[in-house]
């Protein structure tokens, strides 16, 4: 269903008022009557976008976990393209996104190649005694932190220096 153009719709103002909410849920834990702003905000936005088209940036961000691994197959080429002024201008004007992050040339797994931590499978980890497992630090990466976060270089250095 699409809203008729030119027709006044109060839901635009509601959406604008809710745009400042970060969905941090701080209010829902503090509220004495347990009003959950992020929950009703999510329900409102689902209703709103059943009537109006979503911005392109929503689709870009929603699919970033699918597209990043594909982009990471050619990181140098994508980094070169993402640095181009006309791509940044186009990205800002068309999808409303700026400052595209650069992709890592090699993943954390590639940088840690040969490290003992990579040779353990999940069943092997699960079979370890509780006491041994309690000394492990598990790092679960998502495609974004794997491909564009700068933190994993520091983590890789720390891991190598701490065995
Ligand atoms: S979830 Fe609540 S506290 Fe957090 S930004 Fe939204 S309204 Fe504010």
pLDDT single digits (tens) 39-49: 999 999 999 99
Q: Which atom of ligand 1 approaches the CA of 22 most closely?
A: 5
Any atom of ligand 1 within 6 Å of the Cβ of 133: no
Task: List per-residue pLDDT tens for the chain, 163 residues long.
Answer: 455 566 788 999 999 999 899 888 888 788 888 888 999 999 999 999 999 999 898 998 899 888 988 998 899 999 999 999 999 999 999 888 888 888 888 777 777 788 777 788 889 888 989 998 888 877 777 777 778 765 555 666 666 666 5
Total H helices, total E strands in the chain: 12, 0
Closest Cα to atom 6 of ligand 1: 21
pLDDT single digits (tens) 78-110: 999 999 999 999 999 988 888 888 888 877 777
With the most atoms of ligand 1 within 8 angstroms of its CB, the residue from 37, 40, 41, 44 to mutate is 37
> Structure pTM?
0.63
The neighbour count for residue 78, using CB atoms within 10 Å, is 20
The DSSP 8-state label assigned to residue 93 in this structure reads: I
Q: How far is Cα 55 from Cα 8, in angstroms, rounded to an integer? A: 20
With the most atoms of ligand 1 within 8 angstroms of its CB, the residue from 19, 26, 39 to mutate is 26
The DSSP 8-state label assigned to residue 52 in this structure reads: S
């Amino acid at each position: 269903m699409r809203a008729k153009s030119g027709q006044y719709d109060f839901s635009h103002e509601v959406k604008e008022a809710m745009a400042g909410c970060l969905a941090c849920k701080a209010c829902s834990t503090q509220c004495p009557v347990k009003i959950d702003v992020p929950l009703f905000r999510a329900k409102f936005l689902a209703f709103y976008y059943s009537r109006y088209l979503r911005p392109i940036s929503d689709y870009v961000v929603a699919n970033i976990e699918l597209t990043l691994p594909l982009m990471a197959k050619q990181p140098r080429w994508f980094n070169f393209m993402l640095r181009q002024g006309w791509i940044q201008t186009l990205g800002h004007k068309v999808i409303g996104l700026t400052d595209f992050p650069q992709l890592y040339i090699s993943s954390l797994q590639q940088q840690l190649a040969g490290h003992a931590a990579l040779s353990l499978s999940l069943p092997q980890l699960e079979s370890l005694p509780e006491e041994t497992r309690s000394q492990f630090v598990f790092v679960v990466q998502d495609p974004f932190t794997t491909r564009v976060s700068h933190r994993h270089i520091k983590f890789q250095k720390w891991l190598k220096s701490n065995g």
